[in-house]
Structure 1
Amino acid sequence: MTNLPALSAPDLAALLASRLCHDIISPVGAIQSGLELLDDMPDDPESMALVRSSTKSAVAKLQFARIAYGASGSSTAQIDMGDARTVAEGWMAFEKANLQWSGERAYVPKNIAKLVLNLLVVANASVPRGREVEVSIERLEPTARFTLRARGKPLRVPAKFRELLAGETTPESIDAHGIQPYYALLLAREAGLSVRLEQGEEEVVFHVVPADESEEALRSVEIEAPR
């Protein structure tokens, strides 16, 4: 399993809250700007369009965050992967890449659904605008196995994610920008899964497999492409 630096529960909660605020401040700020413009120019179509678009973006981000970062009920709660797909599609409608999603729909332990969504954030950040991210749910029972592929050029997997995979970080180096990839790998560890990264010239693949499924998985994470 990935050797992650230890964070206290209060620090983890505070950094995730900071990340959430960072994600929604832009659309909420745009709503405020649009409303101020409407104060000066009532019924202005461009201002109204800005408010409508920004409101939809804020709602999509909050619905996504509710599952990706939130408690989603009790510690034993399960999440419908169909609901995870729905919030993923809503969130990606306002992001850089286009989303393709395939695989079965079933209720799964919440950390499985949360892991898929958090790796989706990392995959989306790896490709330029207008490219594609594909989520393939290969198996959910008895243990989950799935793959995310990000296609485009140039590919830039977030540096903090790579550092965390390689065990090159300390608690002091985790900030509001690095907490999301940290949380993704923490979810994988809690779910008994292993994440491996494979990168080519125009495609990066995030493999998620049971940690005890093979010798390769037991060796934690393998990075197959040079940095």
Structure 2
Amino acid sequence: MTDAASAFDLPDGQALAALVAGKLCHDFISPAGAIGSGLDLLKDPTAQDMRDDAMGLIESSARKMIALVAFARVAFGASTSAERFSGGELGALVAGLTEGGRATLHWRVADETFSRAEARALVNLAYLAMAALPSGGAAVAAARREADALVIEGLAEGPRARLKPEATAGLAGRPLTEGLPGQWIQPYWLWLTVADAGGALEVNVEEGRVALLARMPN
């Protein structure tokens, strides 16, 4: 890769793998670094009065890391033996990742089973609906079966609900010509997951409202 434009012109498997790896490293570095800082405090003989704070930092950061890994295994990877996932299981993955944020998530997905591709689309779409609410608000993730398709909906409503230009490009399956690759890859990954399954992804952005809808053949 020599520049952003050429890197995203027609991303192949190797380029996509590098971008996903970069996204995951970016997500993991914060809790991993916090765990390291907490361990340093525990070992510092001059900071023993901060032992409880250090243990709290390690505990919360470890929970965050575990939630990130569990989510990433379904959202990005195939490093799980499961071929089908329950709605409750997927809801717990998204909740673990978004817990403590400014926005709230309402999970309206029946506890039925979903294929690996369906699960990947569902958790990514739910996460991106939450990510559209940087200043808080409410997001809804829902799924329903129709005669010939699974319909997944994500609705985000809040005072500053929006999609960044990189996310808009990714959700439309367009290459990134400028902006941050890390903000593009997950939306593009969702589009690619839905498209590879023979489905379609719709995006609607209004003031204070972002709606995402994926339709995947049964």
Taking structure 2 as the reference length, the TM-score comes to 0.84
> What SS is found at the alignment partner of 1:70?
coil
Residue by residue, what CA displacement relative to the aligned partner does 1:36-87 show, whole Å, maximum 9, x if unpaired? 112123462112111111111111111111111111547x922223221111
Q: CA deviation at 1:29?
A: 0.4
Taking structure 1 as the reference length, the TM-score comes to 0.81
In the alignment, residue 198 of structure 1 is paired with which amino acid?
N
2:113 to 107, 110, 127: 107
- Which residue in 2 is equivalent to 1:145? 151
- Which residue in 1 is equivalent to 2:67? 60
- Which residue in 2 is equivalent to 1:9? 13
Gapped regions of structure 1 (runs ≥ 5):
212-227
- Which residue in 1 is equivalent to 2:36? 32
- Which residue in 1 is equivalent to 2:84? 78
Q: Percent identity?
A: 30
Contact 1:100–1:135 (Cα < 8 Å) also in 2? yes
RMSD of aligned alpha carbons: 2.7
Residue by residue, what CA displacement relative to the aligned partner does 1:155-214 show, whole Å, maximum 9, x if unpaired? 221211212345652589883432111111000101222111122322211122247xxx
The answer to which structure, 1 or 2, has the higher relative contact order (CA under 8 A, 6+ apart) is 1
1:48 to 55, 58, 62: 55
In the alignment, residue 43 of structure 2 is paired with which amino acid?
D
In the alignment, residue 194 of structure 2 is paired with which amino acid?
A
In the alignment, residue 192 of structure 1 is paired with which amino acid?
G
Residue by residue, what CA displacement relative to the aligned partner does 1:90-138 show, whole Å, maximum 9, x if unpaired? 1111444211101222222211111111122322221124322110112
- Which residue in 1 is equivalent to 2:93? 87
Distance across 1 between alignment mates of 2:35 and 2:190: 30
Please identify runs of 4+ aligned residues in structure 1 that moved more than 6 A. Answer: 171-174
Gapped regions of structure 2 (runs ≥ 5):
1-7
- Which residue in 1 is equivalent to 2:4? none
Distance across 1 between alignment mates of 2:146 and 2:97: 23
2:209 to 181, 199, 203: 203
> What SS is found at the alignment partner of 1:144?
strand
Deviates more, 1:178-187 or 1:92-101: 92-101
In the alignment, residue 83 of structure 1 is paired with which amino acid?
E
